[in-house]
Amino acid sequence: MVRHLARHDIEVSGFTLQPGAGQSEFLTVYGGLQLAIGLAFLWLLYRPSDIALPLFLCLLIHGCLVVFRTLSFGLYSGVPATTMLLAATEWIIFIGAAILSWRSR
Q: What whole-number percentage of the chain has pLDDT above 70?
A: 84
Distance (Å) of CA 91 to CA 21, 40, 66, 95, 102: 32, 20, 6, 6, 16
User: 40 near 57, Cβ under 8 Å?
Assistant: yes
Model confidence at 2: pLDDT above 50: no
CA atoms within 13 A on the CB side of 51: 9
pTM for the full model? 0.69
Distance of alpha carbon 45 from alpha carbon 42, whole angstroms: 6
The per-residue pLDDT for range 24-44, each reduced to its tens digit, is 888 888 888 889 989 988 988
